[in-house]
Amino acid sequence: MAGAEHVMERFAMGRSWAYARLKCLVSGSLLEQRTLLYRQPGLYIAPAEALRWRVLERLGVYRVGPGGFRHAAELASVAVALHGAFSRWELLSERQIRAAEAERGELIASAKLGEFPGGRPALHRPDLALLSAGGCAVAVELELSSARGARARRSARRGSPAG
């Protein structure tokens, strides 16, 4: 999932060229535009048919609602920045991490937090992961919270009111 500004930065395209390419991909059913928040730019996702065409159906269609829209947009910005800064590393999304771990049968970037009653591991997957050629994995989490929310959490730990 990415917006036009992410495409422009990632592929070093001008605005007109990026929108023309995105329009072409949408008309070819390779992308769908999702606009969830009023007066906010839309984000583009790959529909199921496009994932099948690229043999990526194991990832599943990216689903985002209004509550996760800002996180998804910011995460796309982080991914573009990481791709530029760590171009020799492989960058994986949470969906790609899940699929790769299922294929390999081992954890790549997820943290095992314990086990569910049936013995299945309780995992936390990061938003993104960078993988080096040598097999080193760096988990990347994006936390969106306000200063007031952070202050309230600190206060709750101390047992005093936030303010």
Instruction: Say which residues have a Cβ less than 8 Å from residue 85's Cβ, sequence separation at least 6.
Output: none
The tally of domains found in the chain comes to 2
pLDDT in tens, 83-105: 999 999 999 999 999 999 999 99
Residue 64 and residue 6 share a domain:
yes
Residue 78 and residue 45 share a domain:
yes
Task: Give the pLDDT mean for 11-22.
Answer: 95
- Cα 70 to Cα 16, 102, 151, 157: the distances in Å are 24, 28, 21, 27
Domain final residue, candidates 85, 105, 130: 85
Residue 99 and residue 58 share a domain:
no
Tell me what pLDDT residue 147 has: 54
In this structure, which amino acid lies at residue 15?
R
Residue 153, pLDDT above cutoff 60: no
Q: Which is higher by pLDDT, 135 or 27? A: 27
Q: Number of C-alpha atoms within 13 angstroms, CB side, residue 66?
A: 4
pTM of the model: 0.77
Residue 94 and residue 79 share a domain:
no
Indicate the helix (H) or strand (E) that contains 4.
helix 4-10
Confidence of residue 34 (pLDDT cuts 50, 70, 90): confident
Residue 69 and residue 19 share a domain:
yes
Residue 65 and residue 1 share a domain:
yes
Task: Give the pLDDT mean for 36-53.
Answer: 87
Give the domain range for residue 5.
1-85
Residue 47 and residue 77 share a domain:
yes
